[in-house]
Amino acid sequence: MTLVEIENVTRRFGGLLAVDAVTTKVEAGELVGLIGPNGAGKTTLFNLISGFTTLTAGSVRFKGEAIDGLKPHVIAARGMSRTFQNLRVFPNMSVFDNVSVGAVGKMGLSAGRAIVGGARRSQAISRATWQALERVGLTEVAGELAANLSYGKRKYLEIARALAMRPDFLILDEPAAGLNDSETAELARFIRSLNADGLAVMLVEHDMNLVMSICSRVVVLASGRKIADAAPDVVRADPAVLEAYLGVEE
Ligand SMILES: Nc1ncnc2c1ncn2[C@@H]1O[C@H](COP(=O)(O)OP(=O)(O)OP(=O)(O)O)[C@@H](O)[C@H]1O
């Protein structure tokens, strides 16, 4: 089943075509990488898919329904969650409360309405939060302030918040940035295990080894355009990709 259909998706910023008529798909349960040189349009494409940036042209369908123009929290409540290139953790809130923001979001509620929503609702939020914390291995530090976590653990906290929404599709924007080699290897195993549980994942990453080792398909952008969309081995040998990265003529 096709989960996400990205069709001719385009975004212009003034005179700059940041994303230029990109068409691709994500199947249910797939693990797809999105790579490209700096400024290629990767984050902008993620923002367009998840509703954080409006489309100049094109369309995005999620689970068969058009989602262009919907607010990010509405798209998230339908089962698409994401993390950000720059961590968006609330440092003065506990780890538990940071993650419960995701569980609240699943219900399409503001935090205030969730609090006054009665015992059954708060039990559901609490259950989803604990399950997400357990999935990333942070239950022991649930009561700690997020500010006290190491940088690596804060990354898992952000992923837990996304998981608390019980997504079918998870978008990860540079999850390995700032991690050392062993932390990156652990993250690779973790992303694989999420995918093995049936979660479809799309991953922007500069760490090429990570992308090539875990993704079954890799989409390559350069100057806003899609220049390749194939299995890692095919992409690695693609002259257009080599040229985009190395700036060499064929
Ligand atoms: N809000 C904005 N206003 C104007 N230009 C923007 C905006 N967001 C992105 N751009 C421009 O669009 C282009 C694509 O940026 P984007 O951040 O999507 O690239 P990227 O592939 O994610 O890059 P990086 O790997 O460096 O994060 C860049 O030239 C960037 O300067």
52 C-alpha to ligand 1 centroid (Å): 13
At 101-152, the pLDDT tens digits run 878 766 655 545 545 555 666 787 888 999 999 999 999 999 999 999 999 9
Question: Which of 35, 44, 56, 220 most suits a substitution to test ligand 1, by most atoms within 8 Å of the C-beta?
Answer: 44
What is the residue with the minimal CA distance to atom 14 of ligand 1? 41
Query: What is the position in ligand 1's atom list of the atom closest to the CA of 206?
Result: 25
Pocket residues for ligand 1 (CB within 6 Å)? 13, 16, 18, 36, 38-44
What is the residue with the minimal CA distance to atom 2 of ligand 1? 13
Note the pLDDT of residue 141.
96
Question: Which of 17, 35, 43, 85 most suits a substitution to test ligand 1, by most atoms within 8 Å of the C-beta?
Answer: 43
Which residues, at least 6 apart from 65, have a Cβ–Cβ distance to it below 8 Å? Answer: none
Note the pLDDT of residue 121.
62
Regions of the chain with pLDDT less than 70? 105-121, 247-250
What is the residue with the minimal CA distance to atom 31 of ligand 1? 39
Q: Which domains does the chain have, with CATH numbers?
A: 1-79+167-250 (3.40.50.300), 86-164 (no CATH)
Where do runs of H (alpha helix) occur along the chain? 42-49, 72-77, 95-106, 111-115, 119-136, 151-163, 181-196, 208-214, 232-236, 239-246
173 C-alpha to ligand 1 centroid (Å): 13
40 C-alpha to ligand 1 centroid (Å): 7
128 C-alpha to ligand 1 centroid (Å): 34
Note the pLDDT of residue 88.
82
Tokens of 84: 């950000």
Eight-state DSSP code of residue 140: G
What is the spatial order of strands in the sheet that 169-173 belongs to?
80-82, 169-173, 200-204, 31-35, 217-222, 225-230
At 82-100, the pLDDT tens digits run 998 777 889 999 999 999 9
